[in-house]
Structure 1
Amino acid sequence: MTRRGRTKKMTKNNQRGCETRHPQEDHLPDNAKRRRLDPHPSSGRLLYPDFERPTAQECRDVRDRLMALHGFPQEFEEYRRNADAATHSSEDSGAVQVKSEAGCSDSGGNGVGSSVLDGLVHAAESKFLENAIRCGGLAHTKAHRIKNILKTLLEKKGKICMEYLRDMPTEKIKTELHQFKGLGPKTVACLLMFHLQKDDFPVDTHVFRITKSIGWIPPSANREKAYLHLNQRIPDNLKFDLNCLFVTHGKHCQRCASGRQPQRAPLGPCPLSGYHAG
């Protein structure tokens, strides 16, 4: 081997030795490996320990200002839980929604819904499913992922039902759902907040844009880091209302909408004007 060849090999080995390896993740699918950044939002270590916004008082103030303008958004009313209730029965709207989507009967057995979805997994063509969900966009990609998730559930659990998630701690639910290809952090957070009635704070485009503009997240934060930071900073009892209000406000407010072009008619001056940087 030439001197040049030996030098090249030594450099390559040195680079390899400097890499941080995670052998416990070797068995994980690619989408789970990419989420190695994702620590549990409920952990004691803050992602941005020197960035102290939003404060609990700011969260309450913004929630109250948006509520005064919009009221609670009717489109999310069916998912809203009683904040004073200590427990939630299996007949909560979120539970019913999970069952209807997952094909579970009230008893958790193989009801009619489960049989229908079994047939869908094995018999339905992707085009049929694509047509049913086309209005949401990315129908081809989503149809493939839905079929894959249902197929995986049937193979692993013997039936198409996700009620088993309900009795799991939040962090275990996240770990379980991240095993399904196509379920990203936002989708998982939405399932937790809306359907499983857990205290979580999804970050969609509206939430990310508004919280960034009012200085609640560091300028350099991406959506994944914004999700972690906001879940650590926003009090649990305000997460649901704030999230729904941010989404609705982002659709109505000219100042807060993408490109200042709201999807819906503005309802009045932006109540967050005092928070905006410019």
Structure 2
Amino acid sequence: RGCRVHYCFFNLGGAAHEIGVRQVAHYLWNRFGSSHRVRFVAINFEPVVGEILEKIDDGQMGVILKRMMVRAASKVAERYGVQALVTGEALGQVSSQTLTNLRLIDNVSDTLILRPLISYDKEHIINLARQIGTEDFARTMPEYCGVISKSPTVKAVKSKIEAEEEKFDFSILDKVVEEANNVDIREIAQQTEQEVVEVETVNGFGPNDVILDIRSVDEQEDKPLKVEGIDVVSLPFYKLSTKFGDLDQNRTWLLWCERGVMSRLQALYLREQGFNNVKVYRP
């Protein structure tokens, strides 16, 4: 509807988790909103999760985690003059997304919360993801929120939630919001380049090297990559997390994409996973 959309990411799984989400955010911005200057705000929520796991009753953890996220996002929204929060929740899809629980989650903030997927079922959401090109991202993205509670409540009681939250040290929440990393989404490529200094970028190749074309299938079909004197193997970026280990690990793999953004992100991700035989190819 013409609104500028910023991205607020709660990191629960370390560097690899953030790399994956950066890929999605950059893809969406590049495809649908590249005319706008957009923020990518990353909040390290691991200390908050640790405090919840240590002090909060198991059944209340999911709702309280979401309440903490809304509190944090509202603070970020206020800082940057953002008018509303947007989430991807769908009614009844998971335990925290019942009407009772959503109402309790919303109660912690005066900021308008929009839920465009609220009435959609899972198949409808998957079809939408397929249409906009994010289905494969979602399929390979690890899920972290689900591990926080073994038996979450589907009908939380306000007084009980508030009593549990009295055990929580809110200075932890304030600290992670204060230390949130705010990046212009146009600078993700540049920042990633700085972060992957340990991953070599090359414009030539040796006898043991193979170029790994990580573009999407459509991009590869439209503009096939052919480089004289070296093998080129196709493996779309969204399959790297599950398929890279099947490749010959005695070879050195030179990751390549058109602009170099995804290849840098994926090189960092693979290094996080323990693969040291990767470089970024920029001819």
TM bucket, shorter chain:
under 0.3
Q: Which has the higher contact order (CA 8 A, sep 6+)?
A: 1
Structure number with larger C-alpha Rg = 1
TM-score if structure 1 supplies the norm length? 0.24
TM-score if structure 2 supplies the norm length? 0.23
Point out the structure with the larger strand share: 2
